[in-house]
Structure 1
Amino acid sequence: EIFRGYFLTGFPWFSLGYMESGSLISSWAPIGGVFLVSMVMAMASSAILLTFLNKRVSGSLIIVILIISSYLLGTVNWTHKSNESSYQVALVQGNIEQDKKWLGSEFENTLTLYASSLTNLEGTDLVIWPEVAIPSLKRNVEGYLEYLDTKIKEKDIQMLILGINTQDQNGQVFNSMISLGEEENIYQKRHLVPFGEYFPVTEGIRSWMQSINLPSRDIAKGDRDQQPFNLGNLRMLPSICYEDIFGSDVLDFFPQSNVIINITNNAWFGKSIASAQHLQMSRMRAIESGRYLLRSTNTGISAIIGPKGKIHETSRPHEYSVITGSFFPMEGRTPYMLWGDTFSLLLSIFLMTMGVIIGMLRFKN
């Protein structure tokens, strides 16, 4: 799983540990991330086999040790609230189908839909719209953004975060997250989707793709060194779409970041189970970091997730919705912040080495 999570930019989508997001076994995540949770699950499964197939007492002992240690780890609060005052947040789920999202005939309807979502949100601290909520380059909708900035100030909304494409002076296009309101911030996506946002192919193949009208233009990759979004004492870790399936990708934002923001467009997946799977991964990121995670998606599933992986508020998939709730900025470090996936990697190497040594000794005997 570790190899699959890193090889060729990585794709750890089906890691076993995500099954346990928010469960007793997920208490290992703040120590070694999702890969350590997968390892504990494998050990527990092996212990069950030892118990029932070989009638070994050692299997039962391992199960008892894992249950007790998982429970005890679950009582540990690696992080704590930075203050007693909560923030009010609203997550907007526009529910715009993928085949309509980029149609010129739907553009004005999209702008109207999202602007109207602010109607009943007076006094909300933070409003979050999903990935590429505005299907346009930022420079082409500056008037609309100024209108939004005025509107949120009239409604005493401190900040609006939204997804939009931006372009630099060299013409490179970025999948970006920006904020309007009391403080303006910008983040450009760093971990791009291969064959979705960029095409790792030769120029010859790219020319052939263009000749048959296949998408072939690359989205540019954002700089590695980017800053959290700031609002008062909030330091918000920005992530876009599947960036939040990589636990180690966001570690450079800690410990200064005290809440995680993720904006996503899962409309690509239709009505498959993938949206629910992605939500499980977001829950694991909250557990690993001991932070709240605020997740705004286009078609679902949007959610406010607590530091232990509990879903406090959530939307129904494939419905327009505005979900509201509260969260706290969190302070402190989890062990996973310090060493990332290194601990799980070294533990895996150690166990494999011990397995080889024990196997060789048994063979000699």
Structure 2
Amino acid sequence: MRPFLLGLALALTLPPFPLGFLAPLPLAFLLRGGFREGFLAGVGFWGLHLLWLPQSFASLFGPLGALPFLPLVLVKALSFGLLFALTPSPLMRVGGWVVLEWLTEQGELAFPWGFLGYALVEAPGRVLASLGGVYFLSLLVLLAAYGLARRHLWALLPWALLWFLPLPKVAGTQKALLVQGNLNPLWDPQGELDESVYLRLTGEGLAQKGADLIVWPETAVWRIPPSVDALLQGRPLLTGLNLFGPNRAVLYQGGGILAHYDKTRLVPFGERFPFREVLGGAYGFFFRAFGLGELADRTPGKRVAPLGPYGVFICYESAFPSVALALAREGAKVLVLLTNDAWYGPSFGGRQHFAMGRLRAVETGLWLLRAGNDGVTASVDPFGRVVAAIPPHQEGFLLAPYALKEGKTPYVRLGDWAVALALTIFLLGLILRVRLPGWRNR
């Protein structure tokens, strides 16, 4: 029971909960223990951290929508159990935990949720993500916990400083009109409602003047409305298109599509269905139960690249540090996220998703413009501060400040060096454990 409660406590230190400053406390106790302790802690942690899944899916699809929750929690808890079994000393666990986080960003079943570094999203110290990304922040959280576990209370001083660092002011020199349609995530089959809502809100927003860019959310419309040119008057429009194949974002200006980007990181079991040749029968059962027909896999994009100066990425991709990193390396001067978080329904999932994505601005040193179907629609500065936002779950628009920025942060230049450092710490702990018996429990 104790490991389970510690897992619950750890989940309360990550978004959307406001207890990030306490993260080292439960972690200090979770640096010891084997498979059983890790599995039970994982059940508590993932059960609370992913509680949005049954809440949102049940509200959309009925009671059967909650079914995927239990197997997902058990699989993630199993990963904690294996981590604990393979890291018998606290120092090994510090390094191994960050390596495990990095591994969850890789492969066909990538699901990069629950990173410890997100405990610092509300701390000014999140600015250190510009040095080594969210993985560096995770390592800092774990090192603070390690110091606490070793009763080196002085280790809490640098941790406390992360919550009081002064951040410089930064001003946006341009304005973007971000439009929030607040439409049903199951969409309008004819697309007519979608078009009328976005055209109306765009017209209302442009009447206030000052916008040099218009942004609509993910899958906002099925096509570029023919009447949009009269509204844009030469301004660029970034919007998601709801196509049958790729999940596409386009840059439209001057009466034509100048460039497009197809989402590369598709949601497993949502936009693509892994191991379909083996699990086809199970997929068919759920498709029929949810009244979705026979869903086909979306077509993934081939590469990550900006649309002009705009580093556009789509929904789920904001949880992947590697996507924003690639956009910055390819020359993006501002990040633009098109998302449809209405799938989260009444749960806290949308706020959690937003909090995670804020770190992409810090890592890259770029402004982040976020247009969501039902929120969160906001502007985030390069230090991760939310400088403008509109209430979720209602239609509206936001004249959002931003700026086009040159230059690259150390994280953009060097990448995930913090993961290599974590692996080194793991190996150091292993060597010390094998060669120096006095280090077995350190």
TM-score range, shorter chain: 0.7 to 0.9
Which of 228, 236, 252 is matched with 1:180 structurally? 252
Which of 196, 202, 215 is matched with 1:118 structurally? 202
Per the alignment, do residues 102 and 204 of structure 1 end up closer, same or farther by CA in structure 2, a change over 3 Å counting? farther
Shift of 1:356: 2.0
Which of 336, 344, 347 is matched with 2:411 structurally? 336
CA separation in 2, counterparts of 1:364 and 1:325?
Answer: 57
Alignment-derived partner of residue 32 in structure 1: 132
Q: Where does 1:142-291 land on structure 2 (aligned, <5 Å)? A: 144=225, 146-153=226-233, 158-166=235-243, 173-182=245-254, 184-203=258-277, 205-206=279-280, 209=283, 212=288, 214-224=293-303, 227-230=305-308, 235-255=309-329, 256-291=331-366
Shift of 1:280: 0.9
Shift of 1:86: 1.6
Counterpart check, 1:63 vs 2:156 = yes
Per the alignment, do residues 295 and 64 of structure 1 end up closer, same or farther by CA in structure 2, a change over 3 Å counting? same
Measured against aligned partners, the alpha-carbon deviations of 1:253-298 in whole angstroms (never above 9, x if no partner) come to 2241110000001111101111111111111000000100000001
Q: Does the 8 Å contact 1:28/1:70 carry over to 2?
A: no
Per the alignment, do residues 268 and 252 of structure 1 end up closer, same or farther by CA in structure 2, a change over 3 Å counting? same
Q: Does the 8 Å contact 1:22/1:308 carry over to 2?
A: no
CA separation in 2, counterparts of 1:70 and 1:7?
Answer: 34
Structure 1 letter corresponding to 2:437: F
Counterpart check, 1:322 vs 2:400 = no
Shift of 1:119: 1.9
CA separation in 2, counterparts of 1:283 and 1:250?
Answer: 11
Shift of 1:306: 0.3
Unmatched 5+ stretches in structure 1? 52-58, 168-172
CA separation in 1, counterparts of 2:146 and 2:278?
Answer: 50
Q: Does the 8 Å contact 2:375/2:391 carry over to 1?
A: yes
CA separation in 2, counterparts of 1:364 and 1:44?
Answer: 22
Q: Where does 1:40-79 land on structure 2 (aligned, <5 Å)? A: 40-51=140-151, 59-67=152-160
Shift of 1:76: 8.9
Shift of 1:123: 4.4
CA separation in 1, counterparts of 2:167 and 2:396?
Answer: 34
Shift of 1:308: 0.3
Alignment-derived partner of residue 102 in structure 2: 2
Alignment-derived partner of residue 218 in structure 2: 131
Shift of 1:221: 0.9
Alignment-derived partner of residue 91 in structure 1: 178
The structure carrying a bigger strand percent of its residues is 1
Alignment-derived partner of residue 10 in structure 2: none
Which of 362, 367, 372 is matched with 1:292 structurally? 367
Measured against aligned partners, the alpha-carbon deviations of 1:185-205 in whole angstroms (never above 9, x if no partner) come to 211111111111111234464
Structure 1 letter corresponding to 2:153: S
Structure 1 letter corresponding to 2:239: L
User: Percent identical across equivalent pairs?
Assistant: 28
Per the alignment, do residues 184 and 278 of structure 1 end up closer, same or farther by CA in structure 2, a change over 3 Å counting? same
Q: Does the 8 Å contact 2:125/2:162 carry over to 1?
A: no
- Give the total of aligned pairs: 328
TM-score by length of 1: 0.81
TM-score by length of 2: 0.68
Q: Does the 8 Å contact 1:131/1:240 carry over to 2?
A: yes
Q: Does the 8 Å contact 2:246/2:300 carry over to 1?
A: yes
Q: Does the 8 Å contact 2:123/2:162 carry over to 1?
A: no
Alignment-derived partner of residue 109 in structure 1: 193
Unmatched 5+ stretches in structure 2? 1-100
Alignment-derived partner of residue 56 in structure 1: none
Shift of 1:2: 1.5
CA separation in 1, counterparts of 2:383 and 2:315?
Answer: 21
Instruction: Give the 3-state SS of the residue equivalent to 2:434 in structure 1.
Output: helix
Per the alignment, do residues 160 and 36 of structure 1 end up closer, same or farther by CA in structure 2, a change over 3 Å counting? same
CA separation in 2, counterparts of 1:301 and 1:241?
Answer: 11
